[in-house]
């Protein structure tokens, strides 16, 4: 239904037509003229109602729908789009760190002012979802208990074998994608066999008893690597993001390639269902093969099911499946991208790479043999941790947190955000803001040193480093991801030195891909063994 203002606009166009056009047309041309006027009115209406934000949000600077769609269709990387369109607006001294842009078929109020961000992430008016809170009762304790350092170390040794066999440059982007896929799969719901070795208990991780095994590191063409790659690629297709009706299974527009993707997704979900069923049955019977494990080495699915049995919460198989899939998609893509960017930053900053290597050697020793960090040793890498944090600031794999809907009218200073608006923290804008960070495009891990720039931010009134979000909706996998990255980087630094090849496409800065999750394109790295 047209609003009063829309009706007045249409009436005004009709009056203009009768006053200035109608008397000059023949009878035949009048029909054409009327048709043209109707079409023009519809075009105006569509332009005003669809391609612009709602009128109640137009007092805020906004990115037009044309600009947003054009950037996607040009396959412009997210960073290129921000550098060209968003950051100049956000860095303007008169801008309060708020703008509006289209996302997921809706208009979102994007926020990069740290003080406003704090309101969003901590305000109860924006913590939506009783179902989400109920599920968090199981997922949060599971993530806090799980810390499989032995698993991450063993898988890193397996990756070393692939690097050594390559005997030259390695497509690191592709290799780390397989490593994180394997580690996420096994940390999520892999089980463990035990063996005696030199009077020490060690663990070998597998999930073959569940009818599922990735073999992602050693076999780049394994069944589940191919399946997951197809699904992940399809989920990032911008055309179906812009026009979701094209992706309906019963749509006549669904291509054969897209139907194949749906089939692969069905297979993947069926595999997840079988894993959950077998895992739940085994635990309920008391014959789970990882009962002997220390709590921190158990997989997440086991911990969630055991928590449910202790009365910590209730989660249906469908909810378990949703959480496992979310863990896969969110944890795999973001961690592999973060490590790819970390390897790049260390390759082009050899002084920082050497300083980090000295820390790894100081903790793990310099004997010419591989060493796996213990849980306690993973807490002794402050400089490597600073590198990880700086990578997640300057090369954050995700650009925003999940939007929240305001349950009441809301104000950022004097700017009204109406009830029902979607509000979202813009991570890229805040992490690259000249108002927040000094020289934001410089890679400087010392920002996160004790007494450094980031600690001064922490003492202030806002939030400035948010790759995992903050508050009640903070990423449950944050702790595990940071441990995973510390273990991998410490072991890699101790084993190899590395640099970009002379002909690298990234020698003048990373060439990136992705509209939603960002990663470097085919990053070749030359590794040299230290022992």
What residue spans define the domains of the chain? Answer: 10-98, 118-529
Q: Output helix, strand, coil percentages for the chain, rounded to the nearest 5.
A: 55, 10, 35
CATH of segment(s) 118-529: 1.10.630.10
Predicted pLDDT at 161: 94
pLDDT, residue 329, reads: 74
Write a three-state SS string for 395-415.
Answer: CCCECECCCEECCCCEEECCE
Determine how many CB atoms are found less than 10 A away from the CB of residue 374. Answer: 14
Question: What is d(CA 280, CA 393) in angstroms, rounded to the nearest whole number?
Answer: 39
Q: How many residues are there in the chain?
A: 531
254-264 as b/e: b if 16+ CB within 10 A = beeebeebeeb
**Cβ distance 478 to 468 under 8 Å?**
yes
SS3 of residue 377 by DSSP: helix
Exposure of 23 by Cβ count < 10 A (0-12 exposed, 13-18 middle, 19+ buried)?
exposed
Report the distance separating Cα 445 and Cα 447, nearest Å: 5
Separation of alpha carbons 378 and 520, rounded Å: 27
Q: Describe the crossing of helices 317-347 and 300-309 by its angle, rounded to 10 degrees.
A: 140
pLDDT at 354: 98
Q: At 102, phi and psi to the nearest 5?
A: -80, 140
194 is in an annotated binding site: no
Q: What is the pLDDT of residue 389?
A: 97
Structure pTM?
A: 0.81
Question: Beta strand pairing status for 106-111 and 422-425?
Answer: parallel
Tens of each residue's pLDDT in the chain, 531 residues: 344 444 445 565 556 656 665 566 555 565 666 666 667 766 665 656 667 888 889 899 988 877 877 777 777 777 788 888 888 888 888 889 999 988 877 899 999 999 898 888 876 445 555 555 666 666 776 776 667 888 899 999 999 999 999 977 999 999 999 899 888 878 776 643 333 333 333 334 444 434 446 677 877 777 767 777 777 777 767 666 666 667 777 777 777 888 888 888 888 888 788 888 888 888 888 766 556 666 667 777 888 888 888 877 777 777 778 777 777 777 788 999 999 999 999 999 999 999 999 999 999 999 999 999 999 999 999 999 999 999 999 999 998 888 888 888 988 888 999 999 999 999 999 999 999 999 999 999 999 999 999 988 865 656 899 999 887 677 878 888 999 999 999 999 999 999 999 999 999 999 998 767 889 999 999 999 999
């Amino acid at each position: 239904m047209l609003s009063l203002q829309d009706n007045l606009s249409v009436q005004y166009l009709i009056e203009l037509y009768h006053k200035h056009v109608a008397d000059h047309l023949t009878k035949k041309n009048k029909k054409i003229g009327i048709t043209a006027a109707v079409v023009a009115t519809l075009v105006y209406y569509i332009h005003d109602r669809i391609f612009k934000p709602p009128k109640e949000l137009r007092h805020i600077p906004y990115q037009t729908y044309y600009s947003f769609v054009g950037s996607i269709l040009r396959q412009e990387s997210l960073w290129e789009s921000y550098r060209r369109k968003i950051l100049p607006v956000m860095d303007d001294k008169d801008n309060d760190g708020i703008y509006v842009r289209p996302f997921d078929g809706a208009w979102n109020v994007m926020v990069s002012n740290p003080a406003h961000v704090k309101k969003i992430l901590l305000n109860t008016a924006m913590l939506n979802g009783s179902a989400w809170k109920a599920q968090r009762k199981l997922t949060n304790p599971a993530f806090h208990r799980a810390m499989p350092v032995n698993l991450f170390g063993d898988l890193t040794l397996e990756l070393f074998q692939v690097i050594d066999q390559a005997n030259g440059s390695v497509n690191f982007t592709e290799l780390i994608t397989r490593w994180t896929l394997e580690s996420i799969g096994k940390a999520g719901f892999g089980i463990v066999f035990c063996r005696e070795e030199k009077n020490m208990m060690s663990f070998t991780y597998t999930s073959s008893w569940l009818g599922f095994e990735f073999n992602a590191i050693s076999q780049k063409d394994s069944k589940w690597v191919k399946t997951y790659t197809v699904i992940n690629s399809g989920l990032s297709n911008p055309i179906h993001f812009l026009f979701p009706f094209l992706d309906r299974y019963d749509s006549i527009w669904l291509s054969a390639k897209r139907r194949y993707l749906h089939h692969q997704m069905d297979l993947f979900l069926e595999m997840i269902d079988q894993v959950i069923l077998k895992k739940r049955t085994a635990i309920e019977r008391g014959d789970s093969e990882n009962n002997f494990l220390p709590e921190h080495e158990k997989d997440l699915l086991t911990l969630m099911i055991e928590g449910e049995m202790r009365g910590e919460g209730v989660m249906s198989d469908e909810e378990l499946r949703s959480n496992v899939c979310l863990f896969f998609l969110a944890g795999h893509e973001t961690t592999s991208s973060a490590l790819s960017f970390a390897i790049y930053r260390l390759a082009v900053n050899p002084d920082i790479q050497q300083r980090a290597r000295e820390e790894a050697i100081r903790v793990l020793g310099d004997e010419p043999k591989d060493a796996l960090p213990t849980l306690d040793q993973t807490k002794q890498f402050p400089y490597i941790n600073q590198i990880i944090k700086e990578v997640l600031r300057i090369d954050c794999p995700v650009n925003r947190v999940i939007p929240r809907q305001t349950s009441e009218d809301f104000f950022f200073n004097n700017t009204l955000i109406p009830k029902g608006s979607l509000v979202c923290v813009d991570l890229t804008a805040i992490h690259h803001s000249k108002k927040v960070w000094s020289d934001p495009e410089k890679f400087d891990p010392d920002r996160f040193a004790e007494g450094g720039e980031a600690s001064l931010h922490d003492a202030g009134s806002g939030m400035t480093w948010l790759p995992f979000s903050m508050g009640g909706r903070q990423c449950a996998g944050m702790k595990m991801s940071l441990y995973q990255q510390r273990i991998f980087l410490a072991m890699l630094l101790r084993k190899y030195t590395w640099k970009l090849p002379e002909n690298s496409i990234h020698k003048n800065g990373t060439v990136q891909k992705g509209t939603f999750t960002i990663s470097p394109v085919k990053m070749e790295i030359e590794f040299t063994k230290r022992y």
